[in-house]
Chain A
Amino acid sequence: MSAATHETEHHTSLGLDNRKLLMWIFLASECLFFGSLLSTYLIFKGESLSGPGTDIFAFEITSISTFVLLMSSLSMVLAVYGAQHGQLGLMKLMLLCTILLGLVFLGFQVYEFKTFASEGLTLSTNQFGASFFVLTGFHGCHVGGGVIYLGSLLIASVRRNGIGKETPLYIDIGGLYWHFVDIVWIVLFTVVYLIPAY
C-alpha cells in the first residue's frame, strides 16, 4: 500500500502505523464537519417562521434506533476483538451484525424522514427542516458509507486469501470510523432530540 509499510516491522518515526494515523487525523477533521452542521442547526433553533418544530419528534422511536447504533458499536468492537485474537469466525459474524444493525438504523432514519415529510416537514418547509435534514442526513450518509466500508471488509475477508496478515489493523481502522459515526450520533441524539426546544 505504501513504500514505507511494505516491509513488515518497518520503522516509523512515531511507532504508529501510517494508515491508522491517517484515520485518526481524518476523524479529527470530521469533528469540524459535523460541528459546523451542528452549529448551523443550533443557530436556527427556534428561528423558524412557520411549520413544524421539534414537537414533530417521536424520540421514543428514535431512542430505539439510537440503541441499535450503540449496539452496533458493541458488535464492531467484538469484531475487532475477533480479528486481533485470530478468531476470524467471530470477526466475520460481528462484522455482519454491525452491518445489519447499521442498516436497521438507516431504515429507522428513512422511516422517520418519510413520516416527517408526510407531516409537513421537508427541506424547504422552514429553518428547522432544512438544518435538521441536512445534519442528520449527512450523518446517515456517513453511516451508509460505513456500511459499504465494513461490507467491503466482510466480503474481502470471506474470499480465499482473506484480507491478509494485516487483518487486525484493517478491521481496527474500520472500527475507528464506525465508532466515530456512533459518537457523532451520541451528540446529535442528545442535542437535537432530547434537549427540548426553547
Chain B
Amino acid sequence: MAEMDAVHDAHDEHPTTTIREYLLIGLALSVITAIELVMSLYDDALGAILIPGLLIFSAIKFIIVVAMFMHLKFDSIRFTQIFTFGFVLAAALLTAVVVLFAFDASDAIGGGFIGDPIEHHD
C-alpha cells in the first residue's frame, strides 16, 4: 500500500499545462457560468430540468477546477483519494441530514416508528 518512491516532482511526469491551456479553461468556466445564469433566468421554461441541469453544470465546474487548477489529475493519487473521501463523506452525511429533515415521523401516516399510540376501537 505504501510506495517507497523517492521524492519526485510530479510535474515532471506530464507535459505541463501551458498558459494558453489555462486561459482556455478559464474561458470554459466563464461560459458555463454564463449558461447557468441564463438557465436560472428562464427557470419557468426549463421546469423540472432546471435544478438537475444547474447541479450538473456546477459539478462540471467543480471537477474542472479540482482536476486542472488544483492539479489532482496530474498529482499523486493519494491526494485524490484523501480529498474524495472527505468530499464524499460530506456529501453523504449532509444529504442524509437534509433528507431526515424532509421526511420525519410527522409525515408518516400512523405516527412513524412508534405507531399510533391510541388504540381505536371502532
Contacts and interface: CB of A to CB of B under 8 A. Distances in A.
Interface in B65-98: 65-66, 68-71, 76, 78-79, 82-83, 85-87, 89-91, 93-95, 97-98
Interface string A24-46: 11011111101110110011000
Given A32-B89, A36-B94, A186-B58, A59 B40 contact: yes
B2 A77 contact: no
B106 interface: no
Interface string B1-42: 011111110010000110100110110011001001101100
Interface residues of A, number: 57
Contacts of A195: 40, 50-51, 54-55
A16 B98 CA distance: 37
Interface SS of chain A: helix, strand, loop or mixed?
A: helix
A55 interface: no
A91 to B, nearest CB: 12
B66 A179 contact: yes
B101 interface: yes
Nearest to B100: A43
A52 B39 CA distance: 23
B98 A39 contact: yes
B3 A14 contact: yes
Given A11-B7, A186-B65, A196-B40, A28 B98 contact: no
Nearest to B37: A63
Nearest to A17: B7
A66 B36 CA distance: 12
Contacts of A25: 82, 86
Interface string B41-70: 001000000110011011001100110111
A97 B16 CA distance: 22
Contacts of A59: 37, 40
A190 interface: yes
B82 A42 contact: no
Interface of B: 2-8, 11, 16-17, 19, 22-23, 25-26, 29-30, 33, 36-37, 39-40, 43, 50-51, 54-55, 57-58, 61-62, 65-66, 68-71, 76, 78-79, 82-83, 85-87, 89-91, 93-95, 97-98, 101
17 contacts: A13-B4, A16-B79, A21-B79, A25-B82, A31-B89, A43-B101, A71-B30, A73-B29, A73-B65, A77-B69, A78-B22, A186-B58, A190-B36, A190-B55, A190-B57, A193-B40, A194-B36
Given A81-B19, A183-B62, 13 more contacts: A12-B7, A14-B2, A15-B7, A24-B82, A28-B87, A32-B89, A36-B94, A67-B33, A73-B26, A78-B19, A84-B11, A191-B58, A195-B54
